[in-house]
């Protein structure tokens, strides 16, 4: 594939190029006994089954636990407690149960029965019709709180160094925290009471908490652990609204109209922001000094408002990303493919097939210089 076509094909999300194919070696397989199926509760309330195995070595690592994904996966594979099973390490990292060895069954194996109540708090389980996961709906469930805080402090979210899973559990056990906002009320005297903490480690953690307050809005949206709102969606939403106040005023219909945000994500976000307890949590985070804004360069003249652009080829001064930002800052939208809804195709050197399609559809073609000229006009005069 010619290198010049790589920018045209683009990348899905942040790290999956359309011009590349991943080659993976066949995984190492091992057999062992499935001793037990346990269930933990995730930060969104999802009930996640996992296998407890007789220890077995796979690829140089001893495996004792393995993911089972969800209850539907357990049923589909026909797993029974006591089965001899095939196990692999997916990507040479994550242990997974592949299948039971049914020919080795003795009759002593027992089927797994999914719980009707949350194993952490006893709340009746909910099973949405359009999802394979089962959920604990109790937002005060200890399992949800624990994993929610672990996610909040993680590197991709608020990135609070020195606050790992063990420390989170200590804080919960001692009653020092019950939600995200409580983290910012911690004092050195609180930390010094915890096993493994001295003056230096306590000081470093407090410094890390203080530094996390400066994270942009997009990182806070990730940290809040809203279902269906991952890093990519959080970035799009934060750049669109720039402040938490503006975002909380948006409804699901408005959110769903944003390019790259589907109805499922929009509905989940609007529901989260509409709940009084979540608004109170955000208020407390704000009072603690947590940043509620996204650094977005604003351009007063929204000359491209309502217009859709596609960029192809190599522009003289702007990279593909810079051209996208240039257009979006002025109210325009940039898409990856030419269609009847495209208002302008911005053409650089070696434009590729998008130029042919634009000509076929009668889409106007402009160069970078003309793009800049249009941007200097008042909105609506383009």
Question: For residue 153, which of 223, 253, 76 has the smallest C-alpha distance?
Answer: 223
- CB of 320 within 8 A of CB of 11? no
Q: Using a cut of 0.75, tell me whether the model's pTM lies above it.
A: no
For residue 47, list its beta bridge partners: 41
Residue 4: pLDDT over 80: no
Worst-scoring range by mean pLDDT, 182-196, 224-238, 318-332? Answer: 318-332
SS3 content of the chain, % helix, strand, coil (to 5): 35, 20, 45
What is the pLDDT confidence band of residue 74, given thresholds at 50, 70 and 90? very high
The pLDDT of 55-59, averaged and rounded, is 91
The whole-number pLDDT of residue 326 equals 86
What's the average model confidence in pLDDT over 185-212? 96
What is the pLDDT at residue 6? 75
pLDDT tens sequence across 261-273: 889 999 999 999 9
Determine the average pLDDT of the residues in 20-33: 82
Question: Average model confidence (pLDDT) for the chain?
Answer: 90
Residue in 152, 146, 151, 122 with CA at minimum distance from that of residue 136: 122
List pLDDT tens digits, range 281-305: 999 999 999 999 988 666 677 889 8
Question: Does 141 have pLDDT greater than 70?
Answer: yes
**Closest by CA position to 247, among listed 284, 292, 285:** 292
As given in the structure block, the two tokens for residue 39 are: 């269930």
Q: Is 90 helix (H, G, I), strand (E, B) or coil?
A: strand
Rounded Cα gap, residues 289 and 262, in angstroms: 31
Distance CA 274, CA 291 (A): 20
| pLDDT value, residue 319 | 77
Least confident of 5-14, 150-159, 234-243: 5-14
| Residue pair 123/117 in contact by the 8 Å Cβ criterion | yes
Q: Is the pLDDT reported for residue 60 higher than 50?
A: yes
Is residue 380 scored above 60 in pLDDT?
no
Stretch among 11-20, 58-67, 120-129, 314-323 having the lowest mean pLDDT? 11-20
């Amino acid at each position: 594939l010619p290198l010049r076509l790589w920018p045209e094909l683009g990348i899905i999300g942040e790290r999956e190029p359309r011009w590349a194919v991943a080659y993976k070696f066949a995984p190492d397989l091992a057999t062992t006994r499935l001793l037990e199926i346990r269930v933990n509760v995730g930060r969104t309330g999802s009930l996640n089954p996992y296998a407890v195995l007789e220890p077995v070595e796979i690829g140089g690592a001893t495996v004792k636990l393995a993911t089972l994904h969800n209850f539907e996966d357990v049923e589909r594979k026909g797993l029974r407690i006591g089965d001899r099973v095939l196990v692999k390490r997916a990507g040479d990292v994550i242990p997974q149960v592949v299948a039971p060895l049914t020919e080795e069954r003795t009759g002593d194996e027992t089927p797994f029965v999914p719980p009707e109540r949350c194993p952490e708090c006893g709340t009746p389980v909910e099973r949405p019709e359009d999802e394979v996961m089962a959920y604990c709906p109790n937002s005060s469930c200890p399992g949800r709180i624990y994993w929610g805080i672990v996610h909040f402090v993680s590197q991709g979210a608020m990135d609070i160094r020195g606050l790992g899973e063990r420390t989170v559990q200590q804080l919960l056990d001692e009653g020092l925290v019950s939600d995200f906002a409580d983290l910012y009320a911690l004092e050195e005297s609180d930390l010094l009471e915890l096993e493994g903490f001295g003056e230096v480690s306590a000081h470093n953690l407090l410094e890390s908490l203080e530094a996390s307050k400066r994270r942009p809005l997009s990182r806070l949206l990730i940290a809040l652990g809203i279902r269906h709102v991952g890093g990519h969606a959080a970035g799009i939403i934060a750049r669109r609204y720039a402040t938490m106040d503006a975002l909380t005023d948006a409804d699901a219909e408005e959110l769903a109209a944003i390019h790259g945000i589907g109805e499922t994500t929009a509905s989940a976000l609007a529901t989260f922001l509409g709940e009084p307890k979540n608004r109170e949590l955000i208020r407390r985070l704000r009072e603690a000094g947590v940043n509620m804004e996204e650094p977005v360069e604003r351009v007063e003249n929204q000359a491209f408002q309502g217009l859709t652009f596609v960029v192809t080829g190599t522009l003289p001064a702007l990279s593909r990303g810079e051209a996208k930002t240039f257009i979006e800052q002025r109210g325009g939208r940039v898409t990856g493919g030419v269609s009847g809804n495209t208002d302008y195709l911005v053409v650089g050197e070696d434009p590729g097939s998008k130029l042919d399609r634009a000509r076929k559809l009668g889409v106007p073609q402009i160069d970078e210089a003309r793009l800049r000229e249009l941007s200097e006009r008042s909105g609506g005069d383009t």
